[in-house]
Amino acid sequence: MSTITTPAPKKVNRIGLEVLNYKGAKTTLCAGCGHNSISERVIECFYELGVEPWRVGKFSGIGCSSKSPAYFLNMSHGFNAVHGRMPAIATGAIMANRNMLGLGVTGDGDTASIGIGQFMHLVRRNLPMIYIIEDNGVYGLTKGQFSATADLGSKLKTGVINDLPPFDCCALALRWGATFVARSFSGDKKQLQALLKTAIVHNGLSVIDVVSPCVTFNDHEGSTKSYSYMKEHETMLHELDFVPSYEDISVEIAEGEVRDVELHDGSHLRIRKLHRDYDPTSRLGALHALENAEKNHEVLTGVLYVNTEKPNFLEMLHMVEEPLATLPEAKVRPTKEALDEIMEELR
Amino acid sequence: MSTLEVSPAEPRFSEPGHTVVNDFSIQVATVNGSGSQTANTVLMRSIFQMGVPVSGKNMFPSNIAGLPTWFTIRASKHGYIGRKKEIDLLVAMNPETAREDVTKLDSGAAVVYDEPLKLDTLRSDLHFYPVPFDKLVAPVCPDAKLRKLVRNMIYDGIVAWLLSIDMDEIRQALVKQFGKRKAKAADLNWGAAQAGYDYAAKTFTKSDPYQVERMHENTGKIIIEGNSACALGAMFAGVTVVTWYPITPSSSLVESLIGYLKRFRIDKETGRATFAVVQAEDELASIGMALGAGWAGARSMTSTAGPGISLMSEFVGLGYYAEVPTVIYDVQRVGPSTGLPTRTMQGDILSTALLSHGDTQHPMFFPCSPEECFTMSIEAFDFAERFQTPVFVMTDLDLGMNNWMSDPFPYPDKPIDRGKVLSAEDLDKLGSFARYKDVDGDGVGYRTLPATNHAAAAYFTRGSGHNERAQYTEREDDYIHNMDRLAHKFDTMRKHVPAPAIQYREDAEIGFIAAGTSHYAVGESCDQLRDQYNIPASYFRLRAYPFNAELVEFIQRHERVYVVDQNRDAQLLALMRLEMAPEEIAKLRSIRYYGGLPLDARTITDEVISQEGR
């Protein structure tokens, strides 16, 4: 047996980086936590699309979900902000550097309770960024209290029944201005990948609410955010395929079977019909479908709404092309003549 | 039945022929929403144009229309521009307050009033000038709807005649006020002023001693509000991201800034903005956005008042601990809670210095004038980036919203200082970096900006415990090491904050320590103590926090040191106590005013005399 081996060539993406370059620190979340699956999808998607990791800004608030940005994309700057107020930090950072690809990760407590105000205003502004809600219906870090997305009648481990209706973050997002709104399940690898990749190239606010079971505090009988509940109640709206801009898309599409959404950078989202007709460009249709699903105890997953036309917040600000953060002094400090002119007016 | 006291019947008029030149204050009492602001500004400006040092202070209600408002104009040949407690000429236009306003006057003051108010029956020791405003306004303003707004211009004419203000100056001030585009409005108002002047000339015999005489003190000077001066400072500091939430008295700071940015910060080649301004949903969001932008490398700022500062508390702690630069303007108003939103106070000094939970300390700059609003703004943006921390520029309603005479602002003589930022080229040389490592011994680490095109640029910013490499930690030694470095950084700042302005007086046993707008009253009080009581007093004008060694030296060199506070709880004094030695604390005495009006010299002088046992 020879002792000399030739190492297999390292697998790299189109910008020459290995998947290792997209990883983060070792997770400290519970084994089996849905959030870890989502982190893995993030790593895969950013690697596969060949996104330059240093162009990404990771943002989070406070909670189990908000810890996860430390567990992926080590080569990206990250900002773990205060509870419920990640949107403000992200808004400021993205205004300062419009080339930054913003990736926000938050939870249902962070978004739907303390942060509902900032979430709604982020939605209203349609700030171009990815906003993932890791939704498990409970506060994990404080040991299992209900959050505002817990379903009416769902049960805590202690037996307490939730008697308030939930906020549906997807309904809020699509009604008030987000331009890519989806729901998924942390256990659905293929769907979540297609959604994340779409969000990466979408030129507006992408809100992805991912049901992500909490194995420690909300995975029991009576929970509506458990693995078993999702297995029984998840209803996929369609099958999704993401075709990146740099790939050949000249594949024949059968009429009526597939809806093709062309995205900002020339990528395509292929939406293949399953059991029902669903038009993800109709806001009213989406709200209607969510309303019906709630009545029927279904969890609709897939693309709920997509709008590739609406201007985003950065476009409305009419800023120069280069990032504000690095403008040279000559661009940001008016001349002495300008000051003299102002002084003269005030005499 | 009136409950007002009637003064003694003996008038105390000055001798005939006695005049008081360029040393008086005028108070105009009106109802807000009646267009009096134009008349008051024009009156103030006309005195300014005559070369006489002048100041104007608006005491207005938190209301849009219908509540009493007072505007005080002080002319002073000595250059005193603080509020003068005694009113020498009252213009009484508001029936609701007229009787009380008249009762408060010192004997010998003059009163211009609306004739039907019959104020002359109240006292016999004042100079009364009744004016039939309604009768005079009708012929000069045929449109009955506009009369309410034009009516006030009549008193400008009356006062001009009484004080010998050149009517050409009124005319010129009107043109300045309305600009070329509103020539019709200027003409209408000019007609009213003229009618007032003619009426006075025809009707009155001047019996009061007050008079304006031309001086040449104002050559080259400008008139500006502190808020606009801060806005200009921010623009010339190169601000790029501005976030705000409307609140009195700070709103006009950002509104003024927006106006200037639109004129001077649109890129000529592309027609696009070199800035972003966002009106946020609340102060929680405005500070969050400012920090996000500062973290990403923008020169960011937000502007607010006390209630906003309270709301920003949590985020400011994050800014301190995660070391994120931004500039926060606090245009202080009267608290606690909603307080008196349109009155002035230095009420946030102590809470801002230590804002947020845990051990936190924040640098504060205290401008006292529009010129310092401008220069300190530029310093504040550099300082925030140099020390990677939120910096507070503490003004107040008096400075922010009132009109001040000022020397024109100097163009910045130093290039912008972006602090310790590592570029991709730096990282090539270094290989890696530790965000929170004290490489230079000043407590300030090196940072990289997000989206720096380099594989080693990233670090993770967090409000949770972190080590030198910005990694999560709960270790005792890591935590203590980091907190000690932050304390060391704060110590370093002492040598770099704006230096105090100190006037040592020979043989002075006593000294004053004051900050911000207390300056005008303290400076005048020093003169009063010297001239009227033969007490020399030194004066240390604090221009920033953290304090530096000169403050201790000043206290040591005096027997008794009066710390002037525009708040009830002696906040500036309390802040000094936190770090002074017992022998220095023993020398400190407190002078406090907290009635919501701009501080005046007499209040200070009387208090010193009382505490000195004289």
Which string of DSSP letters, residue by residue, matches A280-317? Answer: TT-HHHHHHHHHHHHHTT-EEEEEEEE-SSS--HHHHH
For range A204-213, the mean pLDDT: 97
Q: How far apart are CA B73 and CA B83, in angstroms?
A: 9
Q: In this structure, are residues B66 and B51 in contact, taking their beta carbons and an 8 Å threshold?
A: no
Residue B15 has pLDDT above 70, yes or no: no
Q: Which of A53, A121, A320 is the closest to B274 by Cβ?
A: A320
Q: Which of A99, A332, A338 is the closest to B451 by Cβ?
A: A99
Q: Do A118 and B243 touch (CB under 8 A)?
A: no
What is the pLDDT confidence band of residue A249, given thresholds at 50, 70 and 90? low
Higher-confidence residue of B9 and A198: namely A198
Q: In this structure, are residues A173 and A207 in contact, taking their beta carbons and an 8 Å threshold?
A: yes
- Cβ of B364: how many Cβ atoms within 10 Å? 26
Residue B247 has pLDDT above 80, yes or no: yes
DSSP state of B266: B
What is the pLDDT confidence band of residue B6, given thresholds at 50, 70 and 90? very low
Question: B431, exposed or middle or buried, with CB in 10 Å at 0-12, 13-18, 19+?
Answer: exposed
What is the pLDDT confidence band of residue B410, given thresholds at 50, 70 and 90? very high
The minimum CA-CA distance between B65 and chain A, rounded to whole Å, is 28
Residue B290 has pLDDT above 70, yes or no: yes
Q: Which of A54, A92, A117 is the closest to B243 by Cβ?
A: A92
DSSP A236-254: E-EEEEEE-TTS-------
Residue A6 has pLDDT above 90, yes or no: no
DSSP state of A7: P
Mean pLDDT is lowest, of A127-136, A242-251, B88-97, B178-187, for: A242-251
The minimum CA-CA distance between B479 and chain A, rounded to whole Å, is 18
How confident is the model at residue B12, as a pLDDT? Answer: 46
What is the pLDDT confidence band of residue A130, given thresholds at 50, 70 and 90? very high
Q: How far apart are CA B424 and CA B448, in angstroms?
A: 9
Distances in Å between the Cα of B5 and the Cα atoms of B8, B42, B99, B123 are 9, 34, 10, 9
Would you say the ipTM is above 0.85?
yes
Q: How far apart are CA A73 and CA A78, in angstroms?
A: 9
How confident is the model at residue B7, as a pLDDT? Answer: 43
Q: Which of A54, A332, A346 is the closest to B453 by Cβ?
A: A54
Q: Do A327 and B240 touch (CB under 8 A)?
A: yes
Amino acid at residue number B320: Y
Residue B348 has pLDDT above 90, yes or no: yes
Tell me the pTM: 0.96
Q: Which element (helix H / strand E) includes B111? A: strand B110-114
To the nearest whole number, what is the mean pLDDT of chain A? 95
Q: Do B455 and A54 touch (CB under 8 A)?
A: yes
Q: In this structure, are residues B402 and B434 in contact, taking their beta carbons and an 8 Å threshold?
A: no
pLDDT digits (tens, 9 = 90+) for B184-228: 999 999 999 999 999 999 999 999 999 999 999 999 999 999 999
pLDDT digits (tens, 9 = 90+) for B513-572: 999 999 999 999 999 999 999 999 999 999 999 999 999 999 999 999 999 999 999 999
Higher-confidence residue of B10 and B579: namely B579
Q: Do B236 and A339 touch (CB under 8 A)?
A: yes
For range A272-297, the mean pLDDT: 93
Q: How far apart are CA B369 and CA A190, in angstroms?
A: 63
Distances in Å between the Cα of B116 and the Cα atoms of B113, B134, B135, B146, B202 are 9, 10, 11, 21, 19
Question: A22, exposed or middle or buried, with CB in 10 Å at 0-12, 13-18, 19+?
Answer: buried
What is the pLDDT confidence band of residue A310, given thresholds at 50, 70 and 90? very high
Contacts of B288 in chain A (CB under 8 A): 81-82, 85, 87-89, 91-92, 118
For range A199-207, the mean pLDDT: 98
Contacts of B281 in chain A (CB under 8 A): 117-118, 121
Q: Look at strands A299-306 and A180-185 and give their pairing.
A: antiparallel
Q: Do A57 and B449 touch (CB under 8 A)?
A: no
* B183-203 and B167-178 helices, crossing angle to 10°: 160
The minimum CA-CA distance between A42 and chain B, rounded to whole Å, is 17
Contacts of B458 in chain A (CB under 8 A): 53-54, 74-78
Residue B2 has pLDDT above 80, yes or no: no
Q: Which of A59, A312, A314, A347 has the highest number of chain B CBs within 10 A, making it the mutation to test binding with B?
A: A347
What is the pLDDT confidence band of residue B9, given thresholds at 50, 70 and 90? very low
For range A297-305, the mean pLDDT: 97
Q: Which of B243, B411, B463 is the closest to A339 by Cβ?
A: B411
Residue B11 has pLDDT above 50, yes or no: no
Q: Do A91 and B235 touch (CB under 8 A)?
A: no
B/e letters for B534-557, b = 16+ CB within 10 Å, e = fewer, are: ebbbbbbbbbbbbbbeebeebbee
Residue B392 has pLDDT above 80, yes or no: yes
Q: In this structure, are residues A154 and A222 in contact, taking their beta carbons and an 8 Å threshold?
A: yes
Residue A274 has pLDDT above 50, yes or no: yes
Q: How far apart are CA B99 and CA B118, in angstroms?
A: 10
- Cβ of B41: how many Cβ atoms within 10 Å? 21
What is the pLDDT confidence band of residue A156, given thresholds at 50, 70 and 90? very high
